[in-house]
Amino acid sequence: MSISNLDQMVELVKSKPRKRLVAVYANDAHTIEAVYHAIEQNIVDATLVGDETTIKKVCKELNIDVNKFTIVQEADENKAGGKAVALINEGKGDILMKGLLSTDKYMRAILNKENGLMPGPKAVLSHATVIEVSTYHKLLICGDVAVIPAPDLNQKIAISNYLINIAHALEVKEPKVALIAATEQMLGGMPACVDAAIISKMADRGQIKGALIDGPLALDVALDKESAQIKKLNSPVVGDADCLVFPNIESGNVFYKSSTKLANAELAAMVCGAKVPCILTSRGDSAKSKNYSIALAALMAK
């Protein structure tokens, strides 16, 4: 039975051994609250890298027991990323999480060629989001909405595999992957269509395993059976997609933000492709979204 909502995902993670989370520059209330909640749920143990005085002040304001955390002092946000990554590389953490620092500084620490978290020069970092929206009948696993501006063919293949792996972890045995374009027609002049057709054929030939993959597909036919029937599309993916691979960051990001701001969707998000899952949520995301993201990263951590 596949996981159909994010609360079920949290329950699944609770049944597994706890992971060690390292939060970078964890000086803000949302990060501290989310991490504390995950500790209370027995999902993780946690190390907070940041300004100890600020962290203690926030914990007092939130009535949180600061002794639940291990605190590593680093008041400089530019140095906090490197210190947190070093803890991961020393085997003192299974998950990295962004706190109150900018995404570019967070990513710079991960991508550092000498001391970062990249497993090799050809590794692909990609952002994956699990979205729960009330108007759809199951979870949607999407990429990339935040890291790769214009993924090439090889990056789209990597994104597809990351989403498939997450779907498997959510107990979807054979996820249905929709390769999104502006149309379901095969138009040679539209790169999104060409890449989607190539990836679909690769899946047909067994070069990408563990999923049913179809594309190019417009978003309406990927998510709505009636639209697919009207357009006379016959595929096990249409109207029932588990995973959406977007052609570029603009389309993915607009979908992600439309889902949360207009449809009240809940989400969990992480960066795939590093040595460990890296949680990358917006500084404005709620503690609840960050808590779901911690659960997702714990589920995917080795």
Distance CA 183, CA 168 (A): 28
- What does the CA dihedral 256, 96, 28, 81 come to, rounded to 10 degrees? -110
Instruction: Name the one residue in this structure whose structure tokens are 């990513």.
Output: 107
Q: What is the pLDDT of residues 117-172, one digit of tens each?
A: 999 888 999 999 999 999 999 999 999 999 999 999 999 999 999 999 999 999 99
- pLDDT value at position 78? 87
> In angstroms, rounded to a whole number, what is the distance separating the alpha carbons of residues 92 and 269?
22
**Tell me, what DSSP letter sits at residue 46?**
E
The answer to whether 234 and 199 are in contact (CB under 8 A) is no
Range of lowest pLDDT (172-186, 262-276, 284-298) = 284-298
| Among the ranges given (2-11, 29-38, 51-60, 280-289), the one the predictor scored with the smallest mean pLDDT | 280-289
Which residue segments constitute the domains of the chain, with CATH numbers given?
6-121+274-300 (3.40.50.10950), 126-262 (3.40.718.10)
Do residues 49 and 26 lie in contact, with contact meaning Cβ atoms separated by under 8 Å?
yes
Q: State how far the Cα of 8 lies from the Cα of 24, in Å rounded to an integer.
A: 27
Strands 212-217 and 243-245, by their bridges, are: unpaired
Q: Which residue has the higher pLDDT, 96 or 113?
A: 96
pTM attached to this predicted model? 0.94
CA-wise closest residue to 294 among 47, 34, 86: 34
